[in-house]
Structure 1
Amino acid sequence: MMPDAANSAPAGNETRLILLGTKGGPRPSPLRSNPANLILSGGTAYLVDCGYGTTRQLLASGVQPHELGAIFITHHHSDHTLELGPLLYHAWIGGLRSPIDVFGPPPLAALIDGLFAAFWFEIATRMQDEGRGNPQHLVRVHEIGASGVVLEAADIRVTAGRVHHPPLQDAYAYRFDTTHRSLVLSGDTAVCPDLLGLARRADVLVHEVMRVESLPRLIAGLPNARELHAHLLASHTTTEQVGAVASQAEVGTLVLNHFVPGDDPAITEEMWIASAREAFGGLVIAGRDLLEV
């Protein structure tokens, strides 16, 4: 079902992609915001992931929370979901009048119920004092249990593809096919055959990336350094691997995103993209917050 026009952003002639937050991992940073991506197509605004700082970055991009038509969550790590509750609250308080669709793997419904429960005293107070409706009636939850088309209309088709991000069983990438171009957002994933199929010949692949040689500095001094290092190696795609992924999928442009580490000022854009260029002959872009691709 297509999101209602009342939630739509101003119409445009092209499909626009804006990287709102490009830092991977739950720790906040002054250098990059946590993961979130905005797609504007056919007069509707679509948000992919909702990490800390998303509302601020959405406003900076010129879109109000209540103008969103749909939200897509790739998986339930906090750097992708931490601001989902506050964003839905801000959409409601800002004048949301018709339901917003939220897609993602289970337990999405339980997560949203819990987020509303956490704010319920505030919500109930404003409902009684200001005559507002119940915000839970303005959210339509769509839990994704398998790869496939999750939203389709005349000018857009959104397809979810399961990816490999252990230990989570349910993690997805999304492909947006519009009348103007095709965009794939990998979410968090190790190298994964299913992602190659989803991204086949896409115009733009926005893919997470990790720089292995910078991990020791990232985890230095942490009491869980050994376990965290093992997790990172098992569940992410390295700078050496991501170019091959783009090449095998035959995409037009590769945009690096969800940088791990994303708050190390010693890593330059050229250092991020050098290895990817060795395996991929197309355009490689190092993403940054609020970059439009």
Structure 2
Amino acid sequence: MAENYVALLGTKGGPAIRPGSSMPTANLFCINGLQMVVDCGLGVTKGLVDQGMQLKDISLIFISHLHSDHYLELGPLIHTAWTAGLKTQVDIYGPVGIKTYWDGFLASMKADIDLRIADEGRPDLRTLVRMHDIDAGPVMERGGVTVTAMRTVHPPLIDCFAFSFKSAATHVVFSGDTAPIAALEDFARGADLLIHEAMLESALPALTKRVGNGSEKLMEHLLRSHSPADAAARTAANAGVKRLALCHLIPSDDPDYGIDDWHSAVAGYFDGTLIVGTDGVRIDL
């Protein structure tokens, strides 16, 4: 039987990186022999290589929404895979607008792509990628894995999705970015693993101060568009999931807050197995 696991490649909430910080959101789901990349924040390419993945084997990518910490490195990932030997179809599933990003990336790299085709004999990268706009409901079925999307609450964006990955043997749900919503409980009902974003409310004032170039709007966004850790835990408990992995951590790089704070925030709300995400951690399914 093929090895089934999820690797959290990047577990930081938000796009900024600083010395010593973790990397933004990216994941590798390996189920039934399918290797599926879920979100492509900065660092996804190295994260995949560090997991031992051959980039030329990339074939499936899912993007949850169009915030930069979830798709900034999509183009560079595919281009790097191409230089590493990619010659087969890549299917990318994401919100309306993802094709505009891809077309813009291709335009920005036209000189390099054309040169490598002519000078190195590579296949045309532009013919290898197939884009799929998604909506709530069925997304894809392949190799015994069914992928379904659910719209989340992450204002001001409308097209923001959670994903369910279900096979005969396992069920994994990725929350994407979302405020607490009851609908996610049904979406994740009985899952073997729920990967859910989380923030520590007590750490937010220090975070917004450290950012330095925002206004009170940043705090307003965090509070209306993301889930406190205790809310993520309640969702997991109400959904009856077996394991909860906290990711998209806000903050993930403040030395005044660590793993004990995340465990304390969840204590009393979820009594299953808790995993506080760190970059590169592999969760067996």
| TM-score of Structure 1 vs Structure 2, range by shorter chain | over 0.9
- 2:85 corresponds to 1:95: yes
* Cα contact 1:28–1:52 (8 A) shared by 2: no
1:190 to 179, 200, 204: 179
> In structure 1, how many angstroms separate the alpha carbons of the residues matched to 2:50 and 2:24?
15
In the other structure, the counterpart of 1:180 is 169
Q: Does 1:152 align with 2:141?
A: yes
1:60 is aligned to 2:54: no
For residues 115 and 192 of structure 1, what CA distance do their matches in structure 2 show? 34
Q: Residue 206 of structure 1 aligns to a residue in which SS?
A: strand
Alignment of 1:212-251 (within 5 A): 212-220=201-209, 222-251=212-241
Q: Structure 2 length as normaliser, TM-score?
A: 0.95
Between the aligned partners of 2:246 and 2:171, the Cα distance in structure 1 is: 16
Question: In structure 2, how many angstroms separate the alpha carbons of the residues matched to 1:118 and 1:110?
Answer: 12
How big is the shift at 1:17? Answer: 0.6
8 A Cα contact 2:199 2:249, kept in partner: yes
Q: Tell me the SS of whatever aligns to 1:279.
A: coil
Instruction: Please name the residue that 1:168 is paired with.
Output: 157
**Matched residues in 1 for 2:53 and 2:27: separation?**
12
Superposition CA RMSD, Å: 1.3
Residue 49 of structure 1: SS of its match in structure 2? strand
Q: Does 1:206 align with 2:203?
A: no
Task: Tell me which residue corresponds to 2:94.
Answer: 104
The more displaced of 30-39 and 221-230 is 221-230
SS in structure 2 of the partner of residue 220 of structure 1: helix
Shift of 1:180: 2.6
Distance 1:80 1:153 in 2: 23
Change beyond 3 A, Cα 1:277–1:100: same
Tell whether the 8 Å contact from 1:14 to 1:180 is kept in structure 2 after alignment.
no
What secondary structure does 1:32 align onto? coil
Report how far residue 109 of structure 1 moved: 1.0
Q: CA deviation at 1:98?
A: 1.3
One-letter code aligned to 1:229: M
1:273 touches 1:285 (CA, 8 Å); kept in 2?
no
Which residue is equivalent to 1:80? 70
CA–CA distance in structure 2, aligned partners of residues 112 and 184 of structure 1: 26
Q: Structure 1: give runs of 5+ residues left out of the alignment.
A: 1-11
**Cα displacement (A) at 1:31:** 2.6
Gaps of 5+ in 2: none
Identity among equivalent pairs (%): 40
CA–CA distance in structure 1, aligned partners of residues 248 and 192 of structure 2: 19
Hey, what does 1:280 align to over in structure 2? 270
CA distance in structure 2 between the partners assigned to 1:201 and 1:54 by the alignment: 29
Deviation at 1:43, TM superposition (A): 2.1
Q: Tell me by how many angstroms 1:14 deviates.
A: 3.4
Matches within 5 A, 1:28-43: 28-29=17-18, 30-43=20-33
Of the structure 1 ranges 12-21 and 229-238, higher mean CA displacement relative to structure 2 is found in 12-21
Aligned structure 1 segments of 4 or more residues deviating by more than 4 angstroms: none
Q: State the 1:223 CA deviation.
A: 4.1
